[in-house]
Amino acid sequence: MFIQTTRRRLVIGGAALTATALALTGCGRSTEDSPESAPKATTSIGEGPATGDLTVWAMGTEGENLPKLTAAFEQANPGVKVKVTPIPWDAAHSKFTTAITAQTLPDAAMVGTTWMGEFADLGALDPTPSGIDTSGFFEGANETTKVGDTSYGVPWYVETRLVYYRKDLAAKAGITTPPADWDGLKAMAKAMKEKAGAKYGINLQPGGTGSWQTVMPFAWSAGASITGDDQKEFTFDTPEMQEGLKYYQSFFTDKLAGTDLPPNQTEAQFVSGEVPMFISGPWMAGSVAKLGGDKIKPNIGVFQLPKNKTATSFVGGSNFVVFKNSKNKDSAWKLVKWLSDAKTQAQWFKLSTDLPAVKSAWEDPSIASDPLLPVFGKQLEDAKAPPAIVNWEQVATAFDAEVEKMAKAGQSPADTAKAIQTKAAAIGTGS
């Protein structure tokens, strides 16, 4: 969770940087460069194999591993050459926004799900053509490609958040089956603290960067939503949102979660048993095992988020898009279509350990036989992402700041919801 925090901060910094620069250059842009006069959107994918040169950007390890996968695409389409450029996560957002301004974009790219609204608003993305079947994707992941009513690109890989717990300590605390509802989770955290010798029952981020990813699932489960259906108005100040916030705060007021823990030590505190539960994504199983060694592996357990009205989690990951100005759009979409094929997705999991966005790929034995992964697959059936609104990163920052006041300084859930709503309304959805 901590790493994400650092990265997100950098991404936001970069966003602010390019936003300023974009605002300053925006007025000087000539009409020829404007997105409206770009080539027309692709509506369907042509028959026959892909041809020509394709340039693709992908971030971090995905960018490192993708060439191994595209080699197979080149074999199937002898006329095509795919050139993958790996981009560091740290400043990927800046690189994209700068490239959009200067029109130096590749043909296709992997993009973060929270950037979709902004890039679509800048007119950079090509709408998904009809030849791509979107019914096989997880619903929550597919939603992240939609901006307004239009879909841009496909979900490529996904991640979602589960509750991690120490199996051995849970047994000591007398918990034999993982809890399924809100009261159960609370009781479990309490038992961990009182009977299993933990300092705190569960590790929850007391506000600060990225904490919305842990708070919003509870609010969603209580029935809250970030915006109205038309995505024009924020709806943070609702009884449902307050209920979610209240539940989150209660862990801190009941001393089941701490505000005084050193940050970035989630794995270490889990391994030591100091804080034997936390909520995070699939990568944490690896991080915990790396720190705790073989000893800890059989004791890592996960279960789905507990239920209130629903049991909704957060869905993240990355999408794959084609850019409007690409000169080889038809072939670019063929690549995207091939990437979202169930077989390719399963192969990609083996190369990268990224979880497939296509449901049927989860039947591959490499995933189905894993002790933890199928639980993520089940949670993905009920997982949400914030709507693709242009100003989301700014709203998230305001949200995180208010949650911090609530967790650390005891600001009431009602005041918190109101403050988030006021701040968010002032920022606006950007549409």
Closer to another protein by CB, 24 or 47: give it.
Answer: 24
Minimal distance, residue 135 CB to another protein, in Å: 27
Minimal distance, residue 156 CB to another protein, in Å: 12
Closer to another protein by CB, 171 or 291: give it.
Answer: 291
Tokens 């993009």 correspond to: 111
Give residues in contact with another protein (CB under 8 A).
3-4, 6-7, 14, 17-18, 20-22, 24-25, 28, 55, 59-64, 83, 85-91, 94-95, 98-99, 101-104, 106, 159, 262, 265, 267-268, 281, 283, 286-287, 290-291, 293, 318
Closer to another protein by CB, 85 or 259: give it.
Answer: 85
Pairing assessment for the beta strands 108-112 and 80-87 based on DSSP bridges: unpaired
At residue 241, what is the residue type?
A: M
Minimal distance, residue 319 CB to another protein, in Å: 13
What does the alpha-carbon distance between residue 150 and residue 129 come to, in Å, rounded to a whole number? Answer: 11
What does the alpha-carbon distance between residue 194 and residue 201 come to, in Å, rounded to a whole number? Answer: 9
Minimal distance, residue 288 CB to another protein, in Å: 11
Closer to another protein by CB, 61 or 134: give it.
Answer: 61
Minimal distance, residue 402 CB to another protein, in Å: 25
Helix (H) / strand (E) element for 53: namely: strand 52-59
Minimal distance, residue 119 CB to another protein, in Å: 16
CA dihedral of 73, 78, 79, 84, whole degrees rounded to 10? 30
Contacting residues for 385 by C-beta, under 8 A, at least 6 apart: 113, 114, 140, 141, 143, 144, 314, 315, 316
Closer to another protein by CB, 28 or 365: give it.
Answer: 28
Closer to another protein by CB, 45 or 275: give it.
Answer: 275
Q: Could you give phi then psi for residue 131, rounded to 5 degrees?
A: -70, -5
3-state SS of 351-369?
HHCCEECEHHHHHCHHHHC
Q: What's the token pair of residue 370?
A: 């894993």
